[in-house]
Amino acid sequence: MSLRDELKQLSEKIRTYRDEAKVQLHLASEEAKDEWNDLEKSWEKFRGRVDELWDDTENASKDVREKTRELGEDLKESYEKLRNRLK
């Protein structure tokens, strides 16, 4: 699977978990809302990195690609945990 396909699939999974958590957030505690706000900052950072890689996938260093992938995986897991706690 190409880096572009992998990041697209990861972004879609994060977006799904994010959307599901967002629906439940209105019933959540302040602690969960604070966690949401922190995750949203990380989401914006991840989207920025993905957009940069989209523009220049071939010239991006291996380190940049790997750090973006790691950030995405961490973000996916964090949204999934929040979503599951809010159910």
The full set of domain ranges for the chain reads 3-86
For residue 42, what pLDDT band results from cuts at 50, 70 and 90?
very high
Residue 18 burial class via C-beta count within 10 angstroms: exposed 0-12, middle 13-18, buried 19 and up: buried
Query: Residue 38, by phi and psi: left (phi above 0), alpha (psi -120 to 50) or beta?
Result: alpha
Q: Which residue has the higher pLDDT, 34 or 56?
A: 34
Identify residue 51 by its one-letter amino acid code.
Answer: D
Q: Are 66 and 4 in contact (CB under 8 A)?
A: no
**CB of 72 closer than 8 Å to CB of 46:** yes
Q: Which residue has the tokens 């599901």?
A: 20
Supply the pTM of this predicted model.
0.72
pLDDT at 58 over 80: no
CA distance 16 to 20: 6
Higher pLDDT, 32 or 58: 32
